[in-house]
């Protein structure tokens, strides 16, 4: 199992080496292998398909530009997700932060009221909407860690490597993220869940 993983890593490294010298096929192979992983991260961060596809495209473009910085023997997936994470945060700050600041003023209670007024009332979809809004309100780091843990199913150690922070910090931020979501959502749990 360990040897298989090592061989796989070796293959990935040699593909990256070829990309460095401008090999299109190797670039496409790597894109094919990791595009879904990057999409998952971006989609769960933005909850929007178009934004997520923009991120995937930008991530692979950035990978091509920075391929010379990839060190042999390092985990390529973690390195690529690190690029994707940075792009997500920049993209969010550039395109969405202002919208969300405006939405921040909008009370979550409004979701509740609007849904009760509508004739097709689905409590679980309300909770989903409230969850999405609460997720956006977390700090950049807490949100990214939650997304990586919950949707990308990464281990704490992998997240620590991608975000370049201590393992203990990842654990503590993930704990805080889930607790913050629970605190924000708890008034609506009884009513909707």
Partner 1 sequence: MKDCKKTNRNLVAFLYGELNEFDKKQVEAHLKTCQKCKAELLELKVVYETADSLNADMEKAIESVDWENFPTRIADGVFDQKPTRVRRPRRAGLRPFLLQPRFRLAYAGLLLGIIVGAVVTFLIFRSSPLQVGEDGRIVVPHGFYDKMELEMARRETIDYLDSSEYLLLDFVQSSPEKSVEFWQSDYASRRAIELLSKKKYIDQQLDNIKLVKAKAICDQIELLFFELMQISDELSVEELKKIQRLIQERQLLLKIKLVRKELQKSEV
Residues of this chain that interact with partner 1 (CB under 8 A) are 22, 24, 27-28, 31-32, 35-36, 39-40, 43-44, 47, 49, 52-53, 56-57, 60-61, 64-66, 68-69, 124, 127-128, 131-132, 135, 146, 149-151, 155-156, 171, 174-175, 178-179, 181-182, 185-186, 189, 193
> How far apart are alpha carbons 40 and 44 in whole angstroms?
6
Q: How far apart are CA 119 and CA 11, in angstroms?
A: 56
Q: How far is the CB of 61 from partner 1 (least distance, A)?
A: 5
Min CB(3)–partner 1 separation in Å: 26
**How far are the Cα atoms of 13, 48, 75, 97, 98 from residue 92, in angstroms, in the given order?**
31, 12, 26, 6, 9
R_g (Cα) of the chain, nearest Å: 19
- Distance of closest approach, residue 30 Cβ to partner 1, in angstroms: 9
Do 38 and 80 form a contact (C-beta atoms < 8 A)? yes
Residue 8 Cβ vs partner 1, minimum distance, rounded to whole Å: 19
Nearer to partner 1, 6 or 166 (CB): 166
Nearer to partner 1, 97 or 155 (CB): 155
CB-based contacts of 95, cutoff 8 Å, min separation 6: 51
């Amino acid at each position: 199992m360990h040897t298989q993983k090592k061989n796989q890593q070796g293959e990935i490294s040699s593909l990256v080496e070829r990309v460095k010298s401008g090999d299109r096929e190797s670039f496409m192979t790597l894109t094919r292998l990791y595009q879904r992983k990057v999409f998952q991260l971006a989609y769960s961060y933005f909850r929007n398909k178009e934004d997520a596809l923009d991120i995937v495209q930008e991530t692979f473009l950035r990978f091509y530009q920075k391929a010379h910085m990839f060190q042999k023997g390092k985990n390529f997936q973690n390195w690529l997700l690190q690029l994707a994470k940075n792009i997500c945060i920049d993209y969010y700050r550039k395109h969405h932060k202002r919208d969300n600041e405006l939405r921040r003023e909008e009370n979550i209670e409004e979701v509740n009221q609007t849904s009760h007024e509508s004739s097709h009332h689905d409590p679980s979809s309300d909770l989903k909407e409230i969850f999405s809004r609460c997720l956006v309100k977390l700090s950049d780091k807490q949100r990214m860690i939650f997304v990586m843990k919950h949707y990308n199913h990464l281990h704490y150690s992998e997240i620590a490597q991608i975000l370049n922070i201590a393992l203990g910090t990842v654990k503590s931020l993930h704990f805080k993220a889930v607790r913050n979501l629970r605190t924000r959502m708890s008034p609506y749990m009884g009513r909707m869940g």
